Structure 1
Amino acid sequence: MDLAYIPSPSQSVWHLFGVVPIRGYALAIISGIVIACVITEVRLRRRGAAPGTVIDIALWAVPFGIVGARIYHVITSPDAYFGVDGVPMDAFAIWKGGLGIPGAIVAGALGAWIACRRLGVPLSMVADALAPGLPVAQAVGRLGNWFNQELYGGPLDAWWAVEIDQQNRLAGYMDVATYHPTFLYELLWNLGLALLVWLLDRRLKFGKGRAFALYVLGYGIGRFWIEGMRIDPAQDFLGLRLNQWMSVAIIVGALIYLLRVEGKRDVLVPGADGVLKAVPYDSPEALAGEADVDADETVTEDDDPDEESEDEASRDGETGDAGENEKATEDGKV
């Protein structure tokens, strides 16, 4: 069947055992967080971090990030909660949708900083490890907007337009059925950004938070473009939506960071006191650590040097005994 548009989900909530609500928006957010944690865990281990480090950091960063994202959304869209027809208590109803990524980044970074201080891991290293995983998480999370039929763009008559049910259409658009699927635009943009960050980081070995700054730069550019398509009510200033001004700010900030901050990728190695410390990946300490690991991996039970020495000594003893027996036999014959 040829589709003239992208249909919206027929429902966004399922009830487990008829009682517990399972919301598509929440599933999208949680799935994105899990994927980001897995990607970051792999990248942190390759930098010398202990297994499970990302979980210790996520326990701080995720709650901070969710709260920050919600606060940012409420501040930038106050009419829905404190306007004439607003419902103030809905400011706490996260499951109904409404999370601002800039707020999540700032507050999540604060939570991650607290965790990194407790663990003794550089925040910049964690940020660089997170850089490709975060846009993947955002891409998956954008599916939540699709389930909620929210944050769509202007009217569009094309095969990739998304259909919005009448009860979810904005005032003044009740007779318009299909719109720009801004959730899909941002999903694809973020996946492309994740691939770009991963490829450049693999080639250039960014350090000191520069991979994360590249992600912030790319996200800001994409968000500025996509935000301009949206038609939901928002605060504006000088013809631009508030989120577009925020995008400009983070673009400028990311560019300044990339131009001013230099440094190679760090890895964690044991210090003289046994405590992990961060050193450049190509430093003698880091290379020595890799050599030690390679040496440990090549030594097995079959080629243990101590066992080889014992085997050689045993063979020498057996050879000596055999030689003496042969000599005694010859003497007897004589």
Structure 2
Amino acid sequence: MLPAVVAEFTSPGPLLFQIGPIAVRWYGLLIALAVLLGLVVSTRLARRRGIDPGLITDLLPILVLSAVVGARLYYVAFEWRSYQGQWLEALAIWKGGIAIHGALIAGTLSVWLFCRWNRLSFISVMDVLVPSVALGQAIGRWGNFFNSEAFGLPTDLPWRLTIPANQAIAAGFPGERHFHPTFLYESLWNLLVFGLLLVLFQQGRQGRIRLPDGALTCTYLISYSLGRLWIEGLRIDPLCLIGLPPSCEGGLRMAQLMSILLMLVGGLGLWWLLRQAPRSSAPPPETSR
């Protein structure tokens, strides 16, 4: 018999290094890396869509700031019980506690306002941003690994995640140490979404498929939400719309509800765009550097 292959994940901790009072955390490094790679991808796609790449560069700081603030506000709003009597802790974003749906809502609003101000097509700009969003999510999910958070139910699978005993106790599983690495599942899923969006973008640009403006955004909403829907079902720390933490027993998980709503929005939007799009159209010209 072949020996079992075990790919056990154990976090080295959230701190990358510290010099005096200055601490550099893995989460911050990963966010910076995601922003940098996202800028490279989005500016290249913008150029191929006929959008000035400089506008994407101008938009990025606004988008990142609004997304981070929105993600934190969304999380705190659903975890307000944890911050009663210590509201200053709500500002401690470096300790973890952000929600991607809050980032998507606030980020989308900031893009819409930016496009209104600069007289740009909102859906065209969103189309060149969503591949970077998927890539950024794939990178950022590893921050959950270093923080030993957002993990799933106990498991004995070879690719299990080892959690410190104190955090397992806090999660309500005092006798367990190994859990589903849901950060890994979502990271890999988002990489697939990123690849899908790039392929569709290229196929549409070459005129091989009908890809009206907004279709990539709708595809992102459907594909990302489909993965989040089932991955969220494995997590033991969901944000609860109804029911009590940690498992929303007898209630409703907010991320699953949002995933269903976004899938409906994306599906209806894609159906409407394809109905409205002409049967044949030439790919948009590329702009020169």
Coarse TM-score class (shorter-chain normalised): 0.7 to 0.9
* Contact persistence 2:142–2:183 (CA under 8 A): yes
- Asked if 1:74 is matched to 2:92, the reply is no
Higher relative contact order (CA 8 A, sep 6+): 2
Q: Which residue of 1 aligns with 2:117?
A: 118
Find the aligned partners of 2:281 and 2:62 in 1 and give their Cα distance: 27
Note if 1:215 corresponds to 2:227: no
Q: Distance in 2 between matches of 1:16 and 1:217?
A: 41
- Cα distance in 2 for partners of 1:75, 1:148 equals 21
Specify every segment of 5 or more residues in structure 1 that has no aligned partner in the other structure, as ranges.
266-279, 298-334
Q: 1:247 to 1:189 in 2, by over 3 A?
A: same
Q: Does the C-alpha gap of structure 1 residues 111 and 233 become closer, same or farther in structure 2, counting only changes over 3 Å? A: closer
> Which secondary structure state, in structure 1, belongs to the residue aligned with residue 10 of structure 2?
coil
How far apart, in 2, do the equivalents of 1:146 and 1:171 lie? 15
Report SS of the residue matched to 1:261: helix
Distance 1:31 1:41 in 2: 16
Query: Structure 2 matches for 1:1-334, cutoff 5 A?
Result: 4-82=6-84, 87-169=86-168, 170-203=170-203, 204=209, 206-232=211-237, 234-237=239-242, 239-262=251-274, 282=282
Which residue identity lines up with residue 264 of structure 2 in the other structure?
V
Structure 1 residues 45, 252: closer, same or farther in 2, change over 3 A? Answer: same
Q: Secondary structure at the match of 2:263?
A: helix
Distance in 2, matches of 1:264 and 1:128, equals: 16
Q: What SS class does the counterpart of residue 159 from structure 2 fall into?
A: coil
- Report the Cα offset of residue 208 of structure 1: 2.4
* Alpha-carbon distance, 1:212 to partner: 0.8
Which of the pair has more CA radius of gyration? Answer: 1
TM-score (norm 2): 0.85
Deviation at 1:157, TM superposition (A): 0.6
Give, in angstroms, the shift of residue 110 of structure 1.
1.4
Counterpart residue number, 1:273:
none
In the alignment, the residues of structure 2 paired with residue 115 and residue 264 of structure 1 have an alpha-carbon distance, to the nearest angstrom, of 26
- Could you tell me which residue of structure 1 aligns to residue 246 of structure 2? none
- CA shift digits 1:214-239 (9 cap, x unpaired): 00111111111111101125315464
Secondary structure at the aligned position of 1:214 is classed as helix
CA distance in 2, matches of 1:95, 1:281: 47
Alpha-carbon distance between aligned partners in 1 of 2:50 and 2:238, rounded to the nearest angstrom: 47
Q: Unaligned regions of 5+ residues in structure 2, if any?
A: 204-208, 243-249
Could you tell me the TM-score, scaled by structure 1's length? 0.74
- What letter matches 1:221 in structure 2? L
Aligned to 1:132, what secondary structure does the other structure show? helix
Q: For residues 5-28 of structure 1, what are the alpha-carbon distances to aligned partners after superposition, in whole Å with 9 as ceiling and x for unaligned?
A: 523222211344333110111111
Say whether the 8 Å CA contact 2:15–2:24 is kept in structure 1: yes
- State the alpha-carbon separation in 2 of the partners of residues 233 and 142 from structure 1: 15
Query: Could you tell me whether the CA contact under 8 Å between 1:128 and 1:206 is conserved in 2?
Result: no
Number of matched residues? 272
State the alpha-carbon separation in 2 of the partners of residues 101 and 48 from structure 1.
29
Q: Residue 125 of structure 2 aligns to which amino acid in structure 1?
A: V
